[in-house]
Every structure is written in C-alpha cells, then in structure tokens.
Structure 1
Amino acid sequence: MWRIENQILEGINHAHKGSYIRISLFSFDRMPLTDALIRAKKRGVRVQVILNNHQINGAMRKLKGALGTNRSRPSWYHICVGSCRAGYENLHTKMVLFGYTGSVRNVIMTGSFNFTGNAAVNQHNDLYTTWNKPNMYRDFLGLYRQLKADRKLSAARQHYIKRAGIWQLEVLPLPGWTVKNDPQMREMRKITCTGANGGTGINGRTVVRVGMHTISGKRGTWLAKKVRQLFAQGCNVRVWYSWADRGARNVFATRTARGYVPVHVAGYDTNYDGEIDLYGHHKVLLVSGNYAGDRSSAHIWTGSSNWGNAGLRGDEIILRLKGVSLFRDWNRNFDSIWYSHSYLAKYIPYRTSTRLRTSSAWDAAKPEPELTPPDDWEY
C-alpha cells in the first residue's frame, strides 16, 4: 500500500548534503513527506518543489513555510496556476529527481503517482526508478527547469521528444493535436498483429495491453477505436480503465468479426454514493510482438497522460521504455489488476477466463452503472 511512498522517502532520507531533490507533482498532502523534505533541507540538501494549484492543505503550507518561495535560492516551493509551460490545463507531470542519494547519482522517479494518502490507499499506481543515466537525467532536468520558470512557451517549444538507449521522453502539451498527430495513435499505427516471435507476443499474435485511469472526450473515442481495430486485426488485446465516458464505452460495446474487445473496469464505488473512490491510476500502454518492423519487440509507455483531451493539453509526459524484462514487470502488474482488482465491463456480453474470480457475479445483461468521478478526482 505504501511501497511507492516508502521508496521515495528512502531517496529523500539518504540524499547527500549539497545535492538536489527536485519534485514536480499534481497533488501533495502527505505530512511524512513534508517532514522528510524539511529534514533534508536542514542537513544541507537543496530541496525544490513545484506543485499544481488545485488544492492547498496543511502539508503544503508547512512545506512552503520551510522552503520559502524565492526560486533564486537553493531551496524553494512554487505553485503553478494551471500549467507551468502552456498557460492552460494543469501541471500534471509527476517526477522526483535526486542528484545524489545513497550510493547512486542522477536518480529519476516517474510514473502515475502523487504524494497523497489517496494515491497510497485508494489507487493503483506505477513508479519507474532509474539511476546513473546522466543523459536521461539531463533531459528530465531540462524539463524541470522549464517548469520552474513558470512561463508560457511558444507552441514550437511546448512539445518535444528526447531519445537515448531504451527510453524516449515525450513532453506535452501538443499544440494543434489531432487524430493524425496523437502520440499514442502514432505508436499504435506501428503495430502489426501477427508474426510475433522471439519470446514475445502470444501464439504469434502481438500483445496489446491498456491500463488507463480515464478514457474520455474525442481523443478517448479515437484511441478506443484504434484499440478495437487492433483486436479485429488479430492482436491479443486487453483493456482496463477506471472511468470511460459514453463515447469510449460505445466503441468497446461494438462487436467486431472476432467478437468484443476484452474490457474490464477498475473503478469501484465502495460506499454506493455514485462516485468512484477505489481505482487504477495508471496511464499505461504495453506492446509485445510485432512493432515498427521488429517482430520481437517489447515496449512500455507510461507517465502522466490519460487518454483524454486534457492528456495532450497540459504539462504531461509520456515515457517509452523497451525490453522484455521491463515488459514482464508491467504486464505482471497489469494482470494483477485484471484478475484481482477489476470486473468485466457490464455492457459487453463477453465471457473472460475463469481465472477472473468475480466473472460469475456480474450480470452482462445490465448496463454498466453510470458512475462519476468525484469533484477532487486525481487524474
């Protein structure tokens, strides 16, 4: 439950005097993390924190009092009103950068997490941690400095891609976004559904897995249509989401010649008030098999960008990683949510594997309940 927070705390508690801790987050309310950052500052660590303005709470006020707001000093606290780089939507990039902690340097932590109790108790999240990769660290640091400036950039500078080795960092917003230039559409167009080999795919079919907090808006609809198309073409597809609007659900509820796309819902209303309060918070696309002409590829796309209009309009990142071992790690987590923390989308008359413990408990004849996100929905 607290594994991600504990890993970040370890990094903070072992940061060396004179080194930097740089944080960018959408949400922050954890007093233990505030106290750890204050202790780090007192022992000589330079602590810099950028947050979104959608909430102000005790942990944030305490951190502000300890760090100050002068961004010309070694340590500081700053709130971006909406986006830091674009002037609309929000700061939604989630990253923690350590210059030197424990025995390693150039540490990057990124994924879907926030520093909140809700993230630890009510959400499924992912955290990718890497170190001793100075080129990758340099590119994340370059983005951080743009966020720190809190100044709207020209459209030409808002969106860019950095690549090196196994990773690709795509920085958003994407001005003038359409179905033609959508980053995730661009990647899914490279998928061929047959011919997977080299220990990837399943029975020669390319595996496509989508684990998404939110699928909505016109963007969510065209991404859902692309996933359905890949299923129709023979890919081994599974999708779970926490909330999807009617447009995306209608896409998944449309039968293909192969049947219905296997879809689960990972959003629960545990107190029956009509709002989702227990849910998956990932923004993940996984592909194993025939991709971009490589029949034995394994790729992961993670980061902060949901499959909705806002996912291309604010300060967001999409991180692409590759490698069979990394794919297996994310796929293992996907399967855990698929089999144990989600249920069959009720609008699809589809029978999934008997390994799904709740499969017999859901009546496919009933429509999926019209659950809504709460007002403080952490997207």
Structure 2
Amino acid sequence: MVAAAVVLSLFPLRPAHAGSLAGGELQRLSARAADPSYVVAPGIVFNHPFRKKKRTRIQRKIINTVRNVPAGETIRLATWNFDSPILARAFIKAHRRGVSVQIIMSRGLARAQGAGGSYQTLRSALGKGNADRPPSMRSWIRTCRYTCRGKGGAMHFKFMLVSRSGATNWVVSQGSGNFTGAAAVQQFNDWTTVTENKALWDGWINIWNQAVKDRNFPAVRFTTGEITSTFAPHKSDVDPALAVLNKVQCTGAANTASGRTKVRIANAVWGEERGARIARKARELDRAGCDVEIVFMMMQRKIRAILRGMRAKQMVYIVGATADKFKDRYVHLKGLAVQGNVAGAADGNVVLSSSENWTRLGWHSDEQDVIFWNDATMASKYANWVDLIYRQAPRSLNNYVNSADPARRVPGTEYLKPKDYPFEDLEAELG
C-alpha cells in the first residue's frame, strides 16, 4: 500500500492561472464559447485501430476537452509528434477564443514535417493575437534541442495539462499516444485523465516549467494520494516497471477467480539490458505461479529468448508486402496492470501507464510514468484490454517479425487486413 505523500518539488511552482487577458483581447478572440457545464470524465480510455467507432476514442477525448476550455484558461501540451490537421484546428480555435495554448514537440519531427505540416500551421496561428496578453498567457509552439530536461535522448513526452475545461478543474491527461492521425489509425494506445486534483496538477506544471527551459534537470518522482508520477531522464531510480513488479506476490490473491495474481503487460519496445531485466522479472513471476500475459511490438532476440514458453505475443499486422512500422498496425501502449496480491494487499490493483518504451533510450529521454495504486476500475479495464489485444495478436514469439526493418520478414506471415484506412477518412470521422 502506498501512503499519501507530499509533492516533492525541486523548484517553486507557478500558479495554474498564470495571468488574465485584457478585456478587449478576450472579446476579439472569443470566437466560440465553451460549454460551462461540460464535465471531463476521469479514468482511462483506449483506442482500437481496427474498429471504426473505437479508433478515435482518445482523439475525441482530447478534442472535447480542448473545445470546452474557456477564455482566460491555460493548455500546456508536450508531445513527441504533433501531426494532425483536426487536432491542430482544435488548439487554434482555443487560442482564438482567448485560451493560452503552449505546446512543445520534437525538433527533428517538426523540421521533417515541412511547410505544410501541423507544426508550421500551429506556429503561424498561435503566433497571432498575443500582443495584448501578458507573457505567461501568450500562445506558442516550440521544440527542444534533444530532451527538454536532460542531455541527449529524445523529447518523448505525451501529456496535456488543462487548468479548466467546462465545469472541470485541474485536468492532467497522459498516455502512450502522440497527437497524430497514426496514433488512431495504426496504433493501440491508452490515455488516462485525472481531474480536480490540484496537488497533482501543480506537480506536473512544475515539470512543464522545467521542460520549457530546455536544459538539464534531475529526475523527479512524487506521490500525491495514490498516484505516483515519475519523470525521466532517470538516474539511479528503480525502473518504474520494476517498482510495480517487485511488489507482486503470485498467490493469495483475493480479487481473482483463481487466487493467482494477474499480471498484464503491454509495452511496445523492449531493448538492451533494461528490457532484459523486466523480461527476467516477468519470467520469474510466471514461474512463481502468477497469471502473466504479454503483448508487444518489437523485442530483441535475447529478450524473446528470456520469455520463450510464456504467453507473449507480438501485435503487428503487416500492411503491404513487407514489414514497416510506419505503415503496420501495432501495439503502442507502454505499461502494465496487476490485479491480486501486490504492495501488501491481497486485493490490490495497480496500473502503470506511460510514454516510455523499455529501452536505454527511454531511460535517458523525456518520458512520463504514472502508477495508479488501488484503482480497481482502471486495473480491470487495462487488464481486459491487454486480453483483447492478446486474443487478436497474429504472431507468437516463433513467427516474430521485425517491424523496424522492412528488409526482414517471415515469408507467408503477411497480413493484408484490416484495411489500410487513409488519413482523410480519419479526419472526416473526427470532424
């Protein structure tokens, strides 16, 4: 059981409402009023890239939250990639009605998009209409050199902080999906939302304020109530995945039918010694009697060897003649769920949701990891979703295909379905 703790902040926190807009600017920019009665639902949602009505669940959640942010409030977004016209329009409309919209994304991806991409569109639109705003309330989109809070690595955050949307305050959302069309059409992702938790919101705003500076900061871990937030680049911390798995006992579970603790793991990429350590722990739990199930997208051969004989499947549907992770359908979640004997509770429930692949690069990059302790509803949803992906995954460890290398594939294992939905269809659905 994790006791409530105080937010451990290394730097002073700025207030959420960091300023107000001049009256004339509010009137000029408020093109569309937000619904003051709208309520942002907390909890976890998943998308399913093969199912039309479920592909856009996360994007709809984001758009509805952004559409109902009233003038004078703030949106703070960090995402590895922003590449979606319809998501860009939602943030631009928010800015024009008087919301302070500030976005950070990867510099390399911003440059790669070119003149017609979402980055340039947002940069132009968010740069207009700031003259009468105080500096803290101006809108913009920026990039970081590499990581925003460390050396080398990559800017790989995926979170959004909203001071108020409709009738809901202090919205902290994060997950595995970037702000792209591909996140809906190609990938299985998750998105968690916590509302009305000022201490948590302040802690995340502190991380945002550090990220904006684009320089080195220490790793941060803090617990508010029953939510533990960890922000890489990590140093000597316990791996977030092992911070959960090391607390698991395999027997004596009071909330599973079998009495065995259920461990469900969904992490896209496992690599190097870091991925191997987590794999060895998963194998140890499997051999100790836990009910362990794993879905993944990419995994080094030595790690697959560790998991041989376990229930582990690769969710990669190949679109076309060769494997290509930029076209294929694949699992992109980066976390796990435990139901059973964990953290000293026989009826424990834990979910790890994050942006972080289990690799050396993930350890040194900008990443967020969030552990939700004692949330039975979230743990059940996460475990059930992993079960669904496992049932539908076409590949075992034996017919693994390297989706990062189009030159390598296993003959006879190509999957030409589900249909390769074009991005225009996705945009029409969201509209």
Alignment-derived partner of residue 65 in structure 1 = 124
Q: CA offset at residue 223 of structure 1?
A: 0.9
Alignment-derived partner of residue 88 in structure 2 = 34
Alignment-derived partner of residue 363 in structure 1 = none
Alignment-derived partner of residue 112 in structure 1 = 176
The alignment status of 1:77 with 2:141, answered yes or no, reads yes
The alignment status of 1:173 with 2:233, answered yes or no, reads yes
CA contact (8 A) 1:95 1:108 kept: yes
Structure of greater relative contact order (alpha carbons < 8 Å, 6+ residues apart): 2
Q: Which range moves more in the overlay, 269-278 or 16-25?
A: 269-278
Residue correspondences, number:
340
Alignment-derived partner of residue 263 in structure 1 = 312
Q: CA offset at residue 73 of structure 1?
A: 5.6
Alignment-derived partner of residue 386 in structure 2 = 334
The alignment status of 1:55 with 2:119, answered yes or no, reads no
**Distance in 1 (alpha carbons) for counterparts of 2:180 and 2:232:** 24
**Distance in 1 (alpha carbons) for counterparts of 2:161 and 2:240:** 25
CA contact (8 A) 1:202 1:236 kept: no
Taking structure 1 as the reference length, the TM-score comes to 0.85
Alignment-derived partner of residue 213 in structure 1 = 268
**Distance in 2 (alpha carbons) for counterparts of 1:109 and 1:370:** 31
The alignment status of 1:299 with 2:350, answered yes or no, reads yes
The one of 16, 32, 43 aligned to 2:70: 16
**Distance in 1 (alpha carbons) for counterparts of 2:256 and 2:270:** 25
**Distance in 2 (alpha carbons) for counterparts of 1:73 and 1:368:** 49
**Distance in 2 (alpha carbons) for counterparts of 1:186 and 1:97:** 25
Alignment-derived partner of residue 377 in structure 2 = 325
**Distance in 2 (alpha carbons) for counterparts of 1:163 and 1:242:** 30
The one of 246, 249, 252 aligned to 2:301: 246
Task: In structure 2, give the amino acid aligned to 1:213.
Answer: A
CA contact (8 A) 1:194 1:235 kept: yes
**Distance in 2 (alpha carbons) for counterparts of 1:202 and 1:173:** 39
Residues 202/226 of structure 1: CA separation in 2 closer, same or farther (3 Å cut): farther
Q: CA offset at residue 203 of structure 1?
A: 1.1
Q: Describe the SS at the equivalent of 2:108.
A: coil
Q: RMSD over aligned Cα, in angstroms?
A: 1.9
The one of 248, 268, 272 aligned to 1:191: 248
Give structure 1 regions of 4+ aligned residues with deviation exceeding 4 angstroms.
69-73
Alignment-derived partner of residue 360 in structure 1 = none
- After superposition, what is the alpha-carbon deviation per residue over 1:8-56, rounded to whole angstroms, capped at 9, x for unaligned? 1111111110000110000111111112211111111111001111312
**Distance in 1 (alpha carbons) for counterparts of 2:64 and 2:406:** 32
Residues 216/72 of structure 1: CA separation in 2 closer, same or farther (3 Å cut): same
**Distance in 1 (alpha carbons) for counterparts of 2:296 and 2:251:** 25
The alignment status of 1:343 with 2:391, answered yes or no, reads no
Structure 2: segments with no counterpart, 5+ residues: 1-54, 408-431
Task: In structure 2, give the amino acid aligned to 1:170.
Answer: T
Q: Describe the SS at the equivalent of 1:55.
A: helix
Structure 1: segments with no counterpart, 5+ residues: 254-259, 348-366
The one of 336, 343, 363 aligned to 1:285: 336
Q: Describe the SS at the equivalent of 1:128.
A: strand
Residues 325/343 of structure 1: CA separation in 2 closer, same or farther (3 Å cut): same
Taking structure 2 as the reference length, the TM-score comes to 0.75
**Distance in 1 (alpha carbons) for counterparts of 2:98 and 2:404:** 45
Query: Percent of aligned pairs with the same residue?
Result: 28
Q: CA offset at residue 150 of structure 1?
A: 1.1
The alignment status of 1:142 with 2:206, answered yes or no, reads yes
Task: In structure 1, give the amino acid aligned to 2:153.
Answer: E
